[in-house]
Amino acid sequence: MNLYEQQQANRRKTWLVMLVFVAFFLFLGFGFDAFYLGAGRGAFPIASTIALGVGSVSAAVSYFSGDRAVLLSTAARPLEELQASATDADRLTLRQLENVVDEMAIASGLPRPKVYVVPDADPNAFATGRDPAHASLAVTRGLLDTLDREELQGVVAHEMSHIRNLDVRVMTIVAALAGAVALLADWAQRGMTWGGGRRRDRDDDRGGGAAGIILFAVWLVAILIAPLVAQLLAMMVSRRREYLADASGAELTRNPMGLARALEKIDAAAGPTPIVNRGTAHLCIADPLGRPMNLREGAVANLFASHPPMAARIEALRAMAFERRQP
Amino acid sequence: MALLVLLAVVALLAVWIIASYNRLVSMRNQTLNGWRQIDVQLKRRHDLIPNLVNAVRGSMDFERDTLTAVMEARAKALTAAGPADAAQKEGQLSQALGRLLAVAENYPTLKSNDNVKMLQEELSGTENKVGFARQFYNDIATSFNTAQQVFPANLFAAAFGFKPAELFEITTAAERDAPVVDLSRH
């Protein structure tokens, strides 16, 4: 697939997973309302509403202040501050970063994000901020030391694409849904320990019949595995957004091989970037935890990874550059 | 009844034309803005060139032809008017600069000089910015043109005074070739 087809496919798949996620939440929520609270047809779904409300509030908090939190926790320093006290050789490196970010801002038609450097020797980069006007882009010192200009441009283009594709917003919605599902699962488990019998009586009173019992059984299984499924769906969205950012980044630079080479180098140097915490993993160029499952291509191992396997990403970029290796 | 249906159809048509008109206006403004962004980057490049030429002049005195070519191309580029003209003259300037940078590679004193390295970075940064501004402009200008040319917008776009935007493109075959650098003279 060329880069435009890849972008479309990834957008479509994001929405598909999101739809499944919403449907899953609604099934759990309405089931909870019906089986636990005995809400009849057409009654207001109290539990679903509260769960989604609480999930949204906590997601909204990180939506508005998450960027400051992550920049603080990674000890990221603003580029201007570093430039003021840099040696001659370092000034050149920093100026190059500044230019590359400017170039990608121009190519994407967005305002230039605030630029930060994280004092970490592992090559990695992330973007954060709720919209293009409030965006920040950070690269590690290791990234600046490892990559040449063209490769750095590829990585910055990937991060600018996260900003342009509003991935912070996408992942906030995902976090709200995941939070709501986790709450429902928690309530259901508490409910089972005290007073699990009540709802079955009520069900019988209403005369739900065999279909009702089967539905209840399915719901019960669903709520038991809900936290796992929510995590699975969230990571599915995250991986789609990574592929999408790769493809959009290639559209900005029109040079997919720059990013492909950068990913190869990052993969070769892959150590964990412990300074970046888990909450920001999905906005990094490479999984900051360096989880080994990202390096394997096993289907099961990759289900819970925030990033697709490097080899698959590089292969997709090669396809964009029409340099796919023959099998 | 027939009158009501007719009225509804006319109202829908009016709403649709207004919406298309507004969309075209906003696309036209984006295109104009895209063009101004190229201008900003071109100006940056024009301002940077005298500095670069001065920085390398001492060490590259016998490359006078290359240096003069850059300054002349710059002077010409300053007089450019409109996308097509600018594209051609800026293309020549890019070529002259490319030749200068390639030739400068042969001077070890220049290559190790921090100031020159910084200037080279500035220059490649500026070249890239011009290129990306141009890429962005061409992309939005193309979608603006497409929006005017698709049916049924093509029926009224011209009547409202919308004109296809000129693309910033390479116009002569000579520019399309990479600059030829002869390294055998040194």
The position carrying tokens 């016998």 is B62
Compute the Cα dihedral for A302, A303, A305, A309 and give only its sign: positive
Nearest CA among A143, A134, A169 for reference residue A286 = A143
Per-residue pLDDT of chain B (186 residues; tens, 9 = 90+): 889 999 999 999 999 889 989 999 999 999 998 888 888 888 888 888 888 788 777 777 667 888 888 889 999 888 887 777 888 888 888 888 888 878 877 777 777 777 778 878 888 888 899 889 989 999 999 999 999 998 888 888 888 888 888 887 765 555 555 554 444 444
For residue A141, the model assigns a pLDDT of: 93
pLDDT tens, position by position, A32-66: 888 877 766 667 888 888 989 988 888 888 888 88
For residue B176, the model assigns a pLDDT of: 55
- Asked if residue A205 has pLDDT above 70, the reply is no
Contact A103 B117 (CB under 8 A): no
- Of residues A104 and B161, which shows the higher confidence score? A104
Q: Are the CB atoms for A175 and A234 separated by under 8 Å?
A: yes
Which helix (DSSP H) or strand (DSSP E) does residue A310 occupy?
helix A310-320
Contact A106 B125 (CB under 8 A): no
Contact B125 A100 (CB under 8 A): yes
Q: Which positions 16-55 of B are in contact with A (Cβ < 8 Å)?
A: 34, 37, 41
For residue A290, the model assigns a pLDDT of: 61
How far apart CA A6 and CA A320 sit, in angstroms, is 8
Which of B132, B137, B138, B140 to substitute to test the interface with A, most A CBs within 10 Å?
Answer: B132
Full 3-state SS string of chain B: CHHHHHHHHHHHHHHHHHHHHHHHHHHHHHHHHHHHHHHHHHHHHHHHHHHHHHHHHCCCHHHHHHHHHHHHHHHHHHCCCHHHHHHHHHHHHHHHHHHHHHHHCCCHHHHHCHHHHHHHHHHHHHHHHHHHHHHHHHHHHHHHHHHHHCCCHHHCCCCCCCCCCCCCCCCCHHHHCCCCCCCCCC
- Asked if residue A327 has pLDDT above 90, the reply is no
Average pLDDT of chain A to the nearest whole number: 84
Mean pLDDT for the stretch of residues A262-286: 75
Least confident of A114-123, A184-193, B13-22, B71-80: A184-193
Which residues of B fall within a CB distance of 8 Å from A102? 125, 129
Query: What backbone torsions phi and psi does residue A120 show, to the nearest 5 degrees?
Result: -145, 140
Nearest CA among B116, B111, B107, B117 for reference residue B62 = B107
Closest residue of A to B116, CA-based?
A: A92
For residue A293, the model assigns a pLDDT of: 46
Which helix (DSSP H) or strand (DSSP E) does residue A115 occupy?
strand A114-118
Rg of the Cα atoms in chain A: 23
Beta-sheet strand order (sheet of A125-128): A77-78, A114-118, A136-140, A125-128
Nearest Cα of chain A lies from the Cα of B40 at a distance, in angstroms, of 11
- Of residues A272 and B14, which shows the higher confidence score? B14
- Of residues B148 and A276, which shows the higher confidence score? B148
For residue A58, the model assigns a pLDDT of: 85
pLDDT tens, position by position, A207-257: 567 888 888 889 989 988 998 999 899 999 999 999 999 999 999 999 999
Mean pLDDT for the stretch of residues A97-111: 94
Contact A103 B128 (CB under 8 A): yes
Closest residue of A to B123, CA-based?
A: A99
